[in-house]
């Protein structure tokens, strides 16, 4: 490739297998001033530092577009600093954090407070969703343009926290008010309330009975109808049912789709028997037939993004009797190993994984200068050893809650290095230097 600038660089990562818009092949990556400056044969170029990554794969920085860092209000479960450490130890270079904190992120002051808390306290780069309520539609168009905001989030069904927009009129008001793509937790609140008694005391395996397939399908159909009527773009989070995939496929002009590693991995009823309330999340983990439907959605190209819904609770909280035990599990640190293991098992190609975790977030959310290894983009890299075998252990987890639902599982494929804006922030399991996380920017609001 022709070089866009004179051939001297701050750092060159040489000899790695690079995955980008050119395909997959061995190439050097030259970085200058925190951005990619050249990709190709840079053996004759000058560099302040040359790092040999022969035998490793060089991916665009992985972006986790759904995490809950619990700050402010629930720092005993997780906080921005520990969550950022967990992200970079797992090879994740950027996160989008959810609004159901205490107080919730439903106005400009709350959003600015989170950005201020995260800047240079998180190792990774970050953005925050602003939460829709039944009362704040009038400020959302301004809120979604604030620095560090990745978009608006609607909870159509109740989950952790008290953010809830259950009815068509208020969902419509939100979709009418905003301009950017809206992220939605799609479970029908009215059906959840009707079926609440089906959550049997001490039986976590009844979680997907209570929050059944129809609860998800009915809400997604409502959401799609409202979005189409309002000419709005939506991003439907953590899809769990095979039934929703053809419905979403028929609406790809307005709807993008997310699935999580845990819904791709675990299946009911086994997971509830094996790890009990640790397997609880919303929407729930369902049967193997639905898990197969999610994989089919990935293979068919219906799924745009895999993200973790990293939602830590303490083990003490999770040990409570169902249904008192809260839903959610940590996930940002195990994201890359779990998905690389699937690549090694032949469940998806490395190129498709990059599409789901870097190119997809860039495309769906209009991220400025992130999500690709391309000249001019931020030099964010996730460098992995596809052959390294390692067992996930609770002791490795940097989150405040210190556990993983994947604990005890051996993975083939492991993150070796995390590079953010040209700076190594993690190498060989060690966090390097002070946190320098910055807000992620978006093309629609530049």
Claim to verify: residue 136 and residue 191 sit in the same structural domain: yes
| The two structure tokens encoding residue 255 | 């709807």
The answer to whether 278 and 405 have CB atoms below 8 angstroms apart is: yes
Say if pTM beats, i.e. exceeds, 0.85.
yes
pLDDT band at 158 (very low <50, low <70, confident <90, very high): confident
The answer to whether residue 273 is domain-embedded is yes
Claim to verify: residue 47 and residue 71 sit in the same structural domain: no
Claim to verify: residue 42 and residue 73 sit in the same structural domain: no
Own/partner contacts of 313-316, CB < 8 Å, gap of 24 or more, are: 313/77, 313/401, 314/76, 314/77, 314/400, 314/401, 315/401, 315/402, 315/403
pLDDT digits (tens, 9 = 90+) for 246-260: 999 999 999 999 999
Claim to verify: residue 347 and residue 311 sit in the same structural domain: yes
**Considering 365, 388, 404, which residue would you say is the last residue of a domain?**
365
pLDDT band at 344 (very low <50, low <70, confident <90, very high): very high
The percent of residues above 70 in pLDDT, for the chain, comes to: 98
Average pLDDT over residues 73-92: 98
Claim to verify: residue 138 and residue 282 sit in the same structural domain: yes
Q: How far apart are CA 330 and CA 312, in angstroms?
A: 5
**Considering 365, 394, 420, which residue would you say is the last residue of a domain?**
365
Claim to verify: residue 18 and residue 134 sit in the same structural domain: no
pLDDT digits (tens, 9 = 90+) for 130-150: 999 999 999 999 999 999 999
What residues make up the domain containing 240? 61-365
Claim to verify: residue 419 and residue 272 sit in the same structural domain: no
The answer to whether residue 429 is domain-embedded is yes
Claim to verify: residue 40 and residue 177 sit in the same structural domain: no
Claim to verify: residue 337 and residue 397 sit in the same structural domain: no
pLDDT at 161: 63
Claim to verify: residue 176 and residue 54 sit in the same structural domain: no
Among all residues, which ones are annotated catalytic? 309
pLDDT at 2: 47
What's the number of domains the chain is made of? 2
- Average predicted confidence (pLDDT) for the chain: 97
Claim to verify: residue 47 and residue 196 sit in the same structural domain: no
pLDDT digits (tens, 9 = 90+) for 209-227: 999 999 999 999 999 999 9
Question: What's the sign of the alpha-carbon dihedral 236, 239, 243, 248?
Answer: positive
pLDDT band at 439 (very low <50, low <70, confident <90, very high): very high
Claim to verify: residue 193 and residue 261 sit in the same structural domain: yes
Q: CB neighbours (10 Å) of residue 350? A: 19
Residue 1 has pLDDT above 90, yes or no: no
């Amino acid at each position: 490739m022709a070089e866009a600038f004179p051939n001297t660089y701050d750092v060159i990562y040489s000899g790695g297998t690079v995955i980008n818009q050119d395909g997959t092949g061995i190439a050097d990556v030259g970085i200058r001033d925190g951005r990619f400056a050249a990709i190709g044969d840079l053996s004759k170029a000058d560099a302040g530092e040359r790092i040999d990554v022969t035998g490793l794969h060089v991916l665009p920085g992985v972006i986790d577009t759904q995490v809950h860092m619990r700050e402010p209000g629930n720092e005993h479960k997780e906080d921005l600093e520990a969550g950022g450490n967990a992200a970079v130890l797992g090879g994740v270079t950027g996160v989008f954090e959810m609004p159901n904190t205490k107080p919730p992120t439903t106005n400009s002051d709350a959003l600015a407070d989170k950005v201020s808390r995260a800047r240079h306290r998180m190792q990774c780069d970050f953005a925050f969703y602003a939460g829709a309520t039944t009362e704040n539609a009038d400020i959302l168009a301004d809120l979604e343009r604030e620095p560090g905001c990745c978009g608006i989030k609607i909870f159509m069904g109740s989950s952790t926290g008290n953010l809830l927009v259950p009815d068509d009129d208020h969902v419509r008001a939100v979709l009418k008010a905003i301009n950017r793509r809206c992220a939605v937790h799609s479970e029908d609140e009215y059906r959840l309330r009707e079926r609440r008694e089906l959550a049997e005391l001490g039986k976590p395996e009844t979680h997907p009975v209570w929050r059944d397939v129809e609860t998800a399908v009915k809400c997604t159909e409502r959401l799609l109808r409202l979005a189409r009527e309002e000419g709005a773009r939506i991003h439907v989070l953590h899809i769990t049912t095979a039934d929703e995939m053809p419905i979403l496929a028929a609406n790809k002009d307005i709807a993008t789709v997310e699935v999580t590693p845990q819904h791709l991995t675990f299946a009911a009823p086994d997971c509830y028997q094996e790890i009990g309330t640790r397997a609880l999340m919303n929407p729930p983990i369902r049967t193997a037939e639905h898990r197969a439907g999610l994989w089919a959605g990935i293979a068919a190209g219906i799924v745009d993004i895999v993200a973790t819904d990293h939602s830590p609770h303490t083990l003490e909280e999770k040990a409570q009797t169902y249904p008192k035990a809260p839903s959610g599990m940590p996930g940002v640190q195990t994201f890359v190993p779990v998905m690389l293991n699937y690549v090694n098992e032949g469940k998806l190609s490395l190129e498709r994984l990059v599409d789901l975790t870097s190119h997809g977030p860039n495309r769906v959310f209009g991220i400025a200068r992130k999500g690709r290894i391309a000249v001019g983009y931020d030099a964010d890299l996730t460098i992995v050893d596809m052959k390294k075998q390692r067992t996930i252990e609770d002791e490795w987890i940097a989150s405040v809650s210190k556990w993983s639902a994947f604990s005890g599982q051996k993975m083939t494929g492991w993150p070796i290095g995390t590079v953010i804006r040209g700076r190594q922030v993690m190498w060989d399991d060690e966090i390097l230097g002070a946190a320098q996380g910055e807000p992620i920017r978006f093309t629609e609001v530049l």
